[in-house]
């Protein structure tokens, strides 16, 4: 799945950023945990599939809701 690949690259980027800047490992883990929480709250795998399969009838309405 494309989103999971991007998620893995985001985690690697956060770790590399923290290591390069001398940020503690706990802080970088906290950032990753925040992203995980937001992903669980705001992402559903079927949204990506539905948008790819039928982009005309899959529309975003309001605050992230779909029809």
Span 10-50, pLDDT tens digits: 889 988 998 999 988 888 888 889 888 887 777 777 776 77
Q: Which domain holds residue 11?
A: 2-66
Q: Is the pLDDT of residue 60 over 80?
A: no
Q: Is the pLDDT of residue 8 over 70?
A: yes
- What pLDDT score does 1 carry? 47
As for how many domains the chain has, the answer is 1
Q: Is the pLDDT of residue 5 over 50?
A: yes
| DSSP, residue by residue, 2-60 | HHHHHHHHHHHHHHHHHHHHT--HHHHHHHHHHHHHHHHHH--HHHHHHHHH-TTT--E
């Amino acid at each position: 799945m494309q989103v999971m690949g991007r998620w893995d690259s985001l985690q690697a980027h956060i770790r590399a950023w923290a290591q390069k800047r001398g940020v503690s490992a706990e802080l970088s883990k906290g950032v990753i945990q925040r992203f995980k929480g937001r992903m669980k709250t705001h992402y559903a795998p079927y949204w990506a599939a539905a948008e790819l399969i039928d982009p005309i009838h899959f529309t975003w309405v309001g605050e992230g809701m779909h029809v």
